[in-house]
Structure 1
Amino acid sequence: MSEENHLLALCAGDTPRIRFIYQQYAGQIRRWVEDNNGSAADAQDLFQDGLIAIYDRYCSKDIELSNSFGALLFGVCKRKWFDRLKEKNRETIVRKIEEERYTDDNDPSMESEAAFQELQKQETLTQTFALLSAQCQQLLTLLGQGVVGDQIAEQLGIANANAVYQSKHRCMSRWKELFTQNLKV
């Protein structure tokens, strides 16, 4: 299959040809992620997110590729991975600052306030999860349990594993939106 047909296969949801894309590029992405402080699971998620990003960008509009599909996929995955590493680094720095703040400050009212805020955050997550559609709840629960995309597709009557991960992306976006709205209230 030529590289120009990869995008057409992705946009059409052509499962056999999408599997070929996986065979051709997933190993390369996995090796690169593992060489850059990631795991095989990170690489799998990153690969899915990369394909979804390409799908969202190129399939909904009539845009032609200026590079090869492989170069585009690798570039998207690389950018997304560096964004994740930056975010992880920010979280580590914030966590360290917060730990130092609470270990230096022995005021029990501060600890109880932080615990109360964390409890509120968890309650908001639970409440907003309940606002998602039943299929989104099932899909996210199954993914959280480590069930693979093909099995989820079969269980929930979704076309294929690629569609499962596209649905995951939409469900997570909706959940984040609901959480942000309810957190401000």
Structure 2
Amino acid sequence: MAIHPDQRYLEGLLKNDTLIVQEIYQRFSGRIKHFILQHQGTEDDAADIFQESLIDIYNQAKHKQLQLTCPFEPFLLLICKRKWLNDIKKRGRQPVTKKLDDVYDVGEDVFAAAEQTIQEESRTAFIMSQFERLGEKCREILRLTLTGEAQEKIAATLGVTYGYLRKKKSECMATLLSYVQAQNF
């Protein structure tokens, strides 16, 4: 696989390049902080996890010649999430069986998961762009039916019959599907 241009972040960490390190903090720490705050953490927890993850990545780059084949952000996010979930387990006094080698062994599974995350985000963004092409009524019907609410209740809310709602939902889904298929995504 080709080396991703974000390899520059690893090189910056290895060289202790102040500008690159600052860029990493400015660009990526906010998302990590948001994730940890949403999952029972504090700002201090977020700062610790972020820094520990950067140290792990540095060690991988220095001792195992880590080469990025995916963007840095999802890779970093995956490392931080894994560390945070491990930390939560430790706090809950659930045993965490983790060999010392595992701390420094990021492995292909992380790369594969990062690649998969990127692909899923790209596909979701594409489908949402096609969704926006639908008419207002179709978008409203699909949004409401995707909430899991009973279709009878949705029909009543929209002031239409249950049969009409089912038919219209089917037509809207078919239109959306045709938009997606037409783009061969």
* TM interval, short-chain normalised: 0.3 to 0.5
Q: Which has the higher helix share?
A: 1
Larger Cα-atom Rg: 2
TM-score between both structures, scaled by the size of structure 1? 0.46
Normalised TM-score (structure 2): 0.46
